[in-house]
Amino acid sequence: MPDTPETILNVNDNEASRYATSRILHRAGFKVLEAGTGGEALQIVREDLPPLVIMDINLPDISGVEVCRRLKADPATASTMVLQMSATNIAVTDRVNSLAAGADSFLVEPVEPEELEAVSRALLRLYRSEAALRRALAERELLLKEVNHRVKNSLQLVLSMLSLQGHRFKEPETRELFTKAISRVTAIAAIHERLYQDADPLTVEMHTYLTGLCAELVRASGMEENAQASLQIEVEEVRLPTEHGVAVALVVNELVMNALKHAQPANGPASINVRLMRHGAGQVRLSVADNGEAPEQSANEVAGLGTQLIRMLARQLNGTVSIERAAGTYAVHVTFPLQSAVSWRPPY
Amino acid sequence: MAATVLIVEDQMLIAWHLSDLVEGAGHRVLAIARDPAEAMEAAAKQRPDFALMDVRLHGGTSGLEAARMLYECWGVRSIYLSANLDTATRAETEQWQPLGFVGKPFLPAEVLAAVERAAKSVS
């Protein structure tokens, strides 16, 4: 029970009935506001936000059912509890309509004072517990937003730290190692920028994700400036579960990094093509192709890690890796089943 | 076209990284400011072509305050950077003619693309 008396708005155009109801409510310890018309009632609810409105169904201007419908339709007043009252001779359909319009309860007059008080208390109890739930939900949402912000910010710090460190190395090999590490971390971190801001936080839309990453790969390679390589992206609008999205992005990262390094055709710039398309029934195929020579199997430790990563990630996707060599092209395909994600529905 | 840029970011590591990127692309960073007051002080000394603005400074939303002051006093517009670029935030910046939005964690390519676009549109 709250310490201060709770407020109830009593709406009735019949002065005698209104007085009788107010008297019962006063005696029960409530603070009572009064209105004689629907218009007045709407205005008082908007201004004073009483937790409960007790309202006669027959009002001179707007019907009680309509007043109730408007109160429930407006987010600012929707939480107000409405108890509709009417005389004995009202048809069942009117009572049904009234409840359908959002009234929380209905009483037929004459009502015993005890019953009016008990129903009022029950509705106020309901109002309080709904208010507590709304507060708890708002707090949770705030907390989630905060945690989400923290995660993204920490990832940003990781990336900034690595980049600052990487720029300070003079030896090309060390720089390259750092560039690779940064690129891999970027592929993982970048998904967080895409998630949570659209309707479905459990899946990631691959088009924007991969387009952004590829643009960054080209930039980081420095190949754009001297027109040594061009990159085309063809990604179907497909959503993947988050873990699959990250795995695909990491594979793209490895393959494009390899291609940028090895795809140097004898004449003309390297052309790299990244495709992610539906492939047959329930399958998706990722292809990274270039117009260069097939890379030799390198004993280099770094290239070795890349190859291993691709193999492990393809396995994580339940996919298969195939390599296609033809005159002037080299392509790696990863084909994997399109797993239907647990789809997200907002709980309200 | 080389532009002069004011970076407003309270996390020094990120500010430093941004500064490296912007300068690496041939633009000039005039100053790194950590709050609205520092941003105004820096802009009073030397007017930047535009600002690279973190929306959330010191856990609040004072980046928006800094953006408003820069715009109202000198017509300096901003590229907004944030880990929470929701629709409400974007809508609020409309009145100060935003030059772009980049989410955090950012891709350097996205930051630079926004900087290049900004440099063109304010020149």
Amino acid letter at A309?
Answer: L
Residues of A in contact with B106 (CB under 8 A): 156, 193
Question: CA A316 from chain center: how many Å?
Answer: 26
3-state secondary structure chain B: CCCEEEEECCCHHHHHHHHHHHHHCCCEEEEEECCHHHHHHHHHHCCCCEEEEECCCCCCCHHHHHHHHHHHHHCCEEEEEECCCCHHHHHHHHHHCCCEEEECCCCHHHHHHHHHHHHHHHC
Q: Does A268 fall in a domain?
A: yes
Query: Which range marks the domain in which residue B22 is found?
Result: 4-122
The whole-number pLDDT of residue A112 equals 93
Residues of B in contact with A160 (CB under 8 A): 13-14, 16-17
Contacts with A, B 30-69, CB within 8 Å: 56
Question: CA A170 from chain center: how many Å?
Answer: 44
Tell me, yes or no, if A145 comes closer than 8 A to chain B by beta carbon.
Answer: yes
For Cα atoms A269, A274, A279, give the angle at the middle one, nearest 5 degrees. Answer: 145
Please tell me the distance from the alpha carbon of residue A122 to that of residue B7, in angstroms, as a whole number.
57
Tell me, yes or no, if B101 comes closer than 8 A to chain A by beta carbon.
Answer: no
Task: For residue A270, give both structure tokens.
Answer: 């390297």
User: CB-side exposure of A228: number of CA atoms within 13 Å?
Assistant: 14
For residue A168, give the chain B residue with the closest CA.
B20
Task: Give which of A141, A169, A188, A219 to mutate to test B binding, by max B Cβ within 10 Å.
Answer: A219
CA distance B73 to chain A (A): 30
On the question of pLDDT at A340 being above 80, the answer is no
The whole-number pLDDT of residue A301 equals 41
Shared-domain flag, residues A237 and A280: yes
The whole-number pLDDT of residue A300 equals 45
Band of residue A346 on the pLDDT scale cut at 50, 70, 90: low
Q: Are A212 and B110 in contact (CB under 8 A)?
A: yes
User: What is the β-pairing status of strands A203-205 and A239-241?
Assistant: antiparallel
Residue A272, burial from CB neighbour count under 10 angstroms (0-12, 13-18, 19+): buried
Could you give the number of structural domains in chain B? Answer: 1
Q: Are B1 and B25 in contact (CB under 8 A)?
A: no
User: What is the β-pairing status of strands A52-56 and A81-86?
Assistant: parallel
On the question of pLDDT at A304 being above 90, the answer is no
Residue A345, burial from CB neighbour count under 10 angstroms (0-12, 13-18, 19+): exposed
Residues of A in contact with B16 (CB under 8 A): 160, 164
pTM for this prediction: 0.76
Q: Are A284 and A333 in contact (CB under 8 A)?
A: no
Task: Give which of A193, A198, A218, A253 to mutate to test B binding, by max B Cβ within 10 Å.
Answer: A193
Omega before A110 cis (within 30°)? yes
Q: Which residue among A135, A159, A177 closes a domain? A: A135
Shared-domain flag, residues A270 and A191: yes
The average pLDDT across A213-235 equals 80
Shared-domain flag, residues A131 and A56: yes
Start-to-end C-alpha separation, chain A: 28
ipTM value for the complex = 0.87
The whole-number pLDDT of residue B1 equals 75
The whole-number pLDDT of residue A21 equals 95
Amino acid letter at B104?
Answer: K
Contacts with B, A 189-208, CB within 8 Å: 189-190, 192-193, 197
> Any bridge partners for residue A271, and if so which?
A230
> Any bridge partners for residue A337, and if so which?
A283
Shared-domain flag, residues A198 and A95: no
CATH code assigned at A39 = 3.40.50.2300
Shared-domain flag, residues A201 and A309: yes
On the question of pLDDT at A90 being above 90, the answer is no
User: CB-side exposure of A118: number of CA atoms within 13 Å?
Assistant: 6
Tell me, yes or no, if B106 comes closer than 8 A to chain A by beta carbon.
Answer: yes
CB-nearest to A212 from B16, B104, B110 is B110
Band of residue A78 on the pLDDT scale cut at 50, 70, 90: very high
Report how far apart, in Å, the C-alpha atoms of A310 and of each of A98, A183, A304, A345, B77 are. Answer: 63, 15, 10, 33, 44
Shared-domain flag, residues A174 and A240: yes
Q: Provide the mean pLDDT of chain A.
A: 87
The whole-number pLDDT of residue B113 equals 93
The average pLDDT across A84-101 equals 83
Please tell me the distance from the alpha carbon of residue A42 to that of residue A44, in angstroms, as a whole number.
6
Shared-domain flag, residues A189 and A325: yes
CATH code assigned at B84 = 3.40.50.2300
Please tell me the distance from the alpha carbon of residue A63 to that of residue A82, in angstroms, as a whole number.
14
Residue from A303, A234, A238 nearest A272 by CA: A234
Query: Which range marks the domain in which residue A88 is found?
Result: 7-135
Omega before A346 cis (within 30°)? no
Q: Residue B121 contacts by C-beta under 8 Å, 6 or more apart in sequence?
A: B99
Tens digits of residue pLDDT in B6-40: 999 999 999 999 999 999 999 999 999 999 999 99
On the question of pLDDT at A60 being above 90, the answer is yes
> Any bridge partners for residue A108, and if so which?
A86
Shared-domain flag, residues A122 and A179: no
The average pLDDT across A156-161 equals 93
Tens digits of residue pLDDT in A99-126: 998 999 999 888 999 999 999 999 999 9
Shared-domain flag, residues A319 and A176: yes
Q: Are A85 and A65 in contact (CB under 8 A)?
A: no
CATH code assigned at A286 = 3.30.565.10
Could you give the number of structural domains in chain A? Answer: 2
Please tell me the distance from the alpha carbon of residue A113 to that of residue B62, in angstroms, as a whole number.
55
Residues of A in contact with B85 (CB under 8 A): 197
The whole-number pLDDT of residue A199 equals 65
For residue B113, give the chain A residue with the closest CA.
A215
Shared-domain flag, residues A122 and A22: yes
The whole-number pLDDT of residue A293 equals 67
Shared-domain flag, residues A87 and A191: no
Least confident range from A154-163, A299-308, B59-68: namely: A299-308
Shared-domain flag, residues A124 and A173: no
Alpha helix segments (H runs only) across chain A = 15-27, 38-48, 64-73, 92-100, 113-167, 172-194, 206-221, 242-262, 301-316
Least confident range from A14-28, A116-130, A217-231: namely: A217-231
The whole-number pLDDT of residue A94 equals 80
The whole-number pLDDT of residue A266 equals 63
The average pLDDT across A204-229 equals 81
Band of residue A91 on the pLDDT scale cut at 50, 70, 90: confident
Q: Does A185 fall in a domain?
A: yes
The whole-number pLDDT of residue A172 equals 84
pLDDT tens string, chain B, 123 residues long: the values are: 799 999 999 999 999 999 999 999 999 999 999 999 999 999 999 999 999 999 988 766 689 999 999 999 999 999 999 887 788 888 999 999 999 999 889 989 899 999 999 999 987
